Amino acid sequence: MGTIKVTNIRVFAYHGCLVEEGKIGSDYRVDLKVKADLSKSAISDNLEDTVDYVHLNKIVKQEMAIRSKLLEEVAKRILDRILIEIPIVKQAQVAVSKLNPPIGGNVAMVTIEMKKNR
């Protein structure tokens, strides 16, 4: 089993419960970690035998573009798509962070993390 990480994917999106968040938008950071059997790709040196991180990045950007009230809902959609579209993945973990959240204080970010197994 091996691990592939895609870290600090930056996205501008419109998530949040407040009406203003849907209009103004905010900066987000997404971090992914997937586990898969990488032994075949280590020998073959072929992209089709591994997890293509370009595909992972595309899933994140597409799902982040769909407005949600809660980051948990966005994270679930990302995890579901990874497991549906990339059969080699046995486990996926995602962290979705809202940078500079509007919570009435000096907070760098709030983060939710979720993990899903095949």
Q: Are residues 97 and 64 in contact, defined by beta-carbon separation less than 8 angstroms?
A: no
Q: Which residues contact 32 (CB under 8 A, 6 or more apart)?
A: 5, 6, 7, 9, 56, 60, 78, 82, 92, 93, 94
**Rounded Cα distance, 13 and 4, in Å:** 25
Q: Which residues are catalytic?
A: 98
3-state secondary structure of 22: helix
Q: How does DSSP assign 5-20, residue by residue?
A: EEEEEEEEE--SSSHH
